[in-house]
Structure 1
Amino acid sequence: MITTASPRLSNIVSEVWRPLAALFVWDCIVTAVYIFAPFTAPSLPLTLFGSALALFLGFRDNSAYERWWEGRGLWGLMINASRSLARGARSMLPDEARDLKRTIVLRHVAYVNALRCQLRKLPADGEVLRFLSRGEAEPALQRTNIANGILDGTSRRIDDARKAGMIDTIQQAHLEGLLVDIANAQGGMERIKNTPLPNQYRFFPTFFTRLFCVLLPIGLVETLGIATPIGSTIAGLMFLAILQIGDDLVDPFANTIHDVPLNAMCRTIEIDLLQSIGDEAPPPLTPEKGVLW
């Protein structure tokens, strides 16, 4: 996630330079043809086209931002539920169950990091083994959904505590309710990750934006003359940038600089949970070159 007041120009250029360069070359071709072989350009209602396209792109960007914000909201729920789980385990389990309290906390820290890796399509084994022993982690690592496997194991340990008389059924139900909230948040994240925007939302905005950029110098050349490449390229940049914004936000877990800052939020959970059991916690993550991962 970019944390600076405005994105750096280099970030914008790096994302749209290819279509922008092609647009500039096309603008130069149209301008050169007009100068050396003057022609009367057809009267194109570019204002009408541009207004309709801007509305289309704005609607698409709003849909993409809603996905991004929902992803951020689900991780906010995950943070709150994680704190509640640690607090419940610390207060409900008896003092002699200190090892079980620590196990539940470490398993959950491993869980959120495994979920982060799954959403970003990164290997999760190394992150899980940072907090759990091989024997503790192996049943979950053998499953397709590693994060869900860790959560299932935590639920079984809570049930074992109930069978051992450490907690009663009401306390178990409370802790299980927190695990349900966590599982629901995970399901929402997986839904966003695995369900792209409909093809129409992706194809038509791109097609019409490029078509508009092709028509733009033809409609401007009689007015701007030799300055057409500059004027047309700047106007095209605005539409290409708006198009790119939608592409950047549509997947909030894509492991790019436009991501929801999963690393930072997992570190927040790690700090809160480790401190809840009296362990030393790492420092919070800070932005690197204006980007919080």
Structure 2
Amino acid sequence: MITKPVPSLKTIISEVWKPALILFVWDVVVTITYYVLPFRAPELPFTLFGSAVALFLGFRSNSAYQRWWEARSLWGLMINASRNIGRAARNFMPDPEGAELKRQIAFRQIAYVNALRCQLRRQPLDDVVLGYIEKAEASSTLERTNVANGLLDGLGRKIDEARRAGWLDTIQQTQMERVLVDIANAQGGMERIKNTPLPNHYRFFPVLFVHMFCVLLPFGLVETLGFATPLGSTIAGLMFLAVLAIGDDLVDPFANSVHDLPLCAMCRTIEIDLLQSMGLEAPEPIVPDRKGILW
């Protein structure tokens, strides 16, 4: 996620120079053609066409942002639920008998959120996940198709183990299970967003119409702007392409790009909170890099 409110000039140039150059060259060709072979283009169809394209882009951008914000809300719920499960384990289980089991529950939750991060980003499990899984259970858990769900199942078994040991009563177990339900529901929502793309109409037609509009735009402006057509048409075309790019950037909040959610930073937040709640040493928070990007 880009944290800087205003991108650097270098970033802006790197993003826009290719489409701007293509648009400018095309607009110059149309302008020269107009003065060599004069033609007349009616204004009304282009106005209606531009309005229709703007509506398409508005619906698409709103839908993409709703997906991005829902994903962020679900991860906010995941952070809160992780804190709740750690606090319940710390407060409900006795010391020193349950100290080791409380630590295992915290480690299991840290491994779970990081496994979920890797699954959503379509990455192999990293050392953070493997470092918090007990070796005795690692092989059976990693064989699961959904490793994160396997870790969550294991967390439920740890809680049941505490009940059978007499460290939790059934009411306390039920309260912790409710938190696990919230975690599972949040995971399901994230997987739904990841596995369900925008409908094809939202993806294909806006791209088609925006490019058609950029191609036809200089024909509608050249009669009014004359030799200024390349400048005016290029700027107008870039505006439509920018809105189109915004939708592309937001539509997959787990794409592991500079525009997606900072899953690494949020998983680190959970890791710090759970370790410190157990009185253990925790790593430093993840901060934006020199380019202002938080991963």
The alignment's TM-score, normalised by the length of structure 1, stands at: 0.95
| Residue 31 (structure 1) shift | 1.6
| Residue 124 (structure 1) shift | 1.2
1:291 paired with 2:293, answer: yes
Cα distance in 2 for residues equivalent to 1:39 and 1:251? 46
Describe the superposition over 1:232-282 as per-residue Cα deviations: whole angstroms up to 9, x where unpaired: 111100000000000111111111111111111111101100000001111
CA contact (8 A) 1:125 1:141 kept: no
Partner of 1:42: 41
CA contact (8 A) 2:272 2:283 kept: yes
Change (3 A) 1:139 1:125: farther
Q: Which amino acid aligns with 1:132?
A: I
| Residue 146 (structure 1) shift | 0.8
Partner of 2:79: 79
Q: Which amino acid aligns with 2:40?
A: A
Change (3 A) 1:152 1:243: same
Partner of 2:105: 104
Describe the superposition over 1:82-140 as per-residue Cα deviations: whole angstroms up to 9, x where unpaired: 00000000111111111100000011001101101110111115331122243332221
| SS class of match (1:41) | coil
CA contact (8 A) 1:158 1:172 kept: yes
| Residue 13 (structure 1) shift | 4.7
Change (3 A) 1:56 1:65: same
Partner of 2:259: 258
Q: How does 1:151-162 map to 2 (within 5 A)?
A: 151-162=152-163
Change (3 A) 1:251 1:10: farther
Describe the superposition over 1:197-250 as per-residue Cα deviations: whole angstroms up to 9, x where unpaired: 100001111111111101111111122222222211111000000000001111
The farther-off stretch of 108-117 and 166-175 is: 166-175
CA contact (8 A) 2:109 2:152 kept: yes
Partner of 2:127: 126
The two structures, once aligned, show a CA RMSD in angstroms of: 1.5
Partner of 1:94: 94
Partner of 2:283: 282
Q: Which amino acid aligns with 1:291?
A: I
Partner of 1:183: 184
Cα distance in 1 for residues equivalent to 2:189 and 2:271? 21
CA contact (8 A) 1:16 1:240 kept: no
Q: How does 1:57-68 map to 2 (within 5 A)?
A: 57-68=57-68
CA contact (8 A) 1:253 1:260 kept: yes
Q: Which amino acid aligns with 1:38?
A: L
| Residue 176 (structure 1) shift | 0.9
Partner of 2:231: 230
| SS class of match (1:60) | helix
Cα distance in 2 for residues equivalent to 1:30 and 1:137? 64
| SS class of match (2:283) | coil
Partner of 1:246: 247
Q: Which amino acid aligns with 2:43?
A: L
Paired positions, count: 292
Cα distance in 2 for residues equivalent to 1:19 and 1:199? 24
| Residue 161 (structure 1) shift | 1.6
1:28 paired with 2:3, answer: no
Structure 2: 5+ residue stretches without partners: none
Cα distance in 1 for residues equivalent to 2:259 and 2:72? 12
| Residue 172 (structure 1) shift | 1.0
1:53 paired with 2:64, answer: no
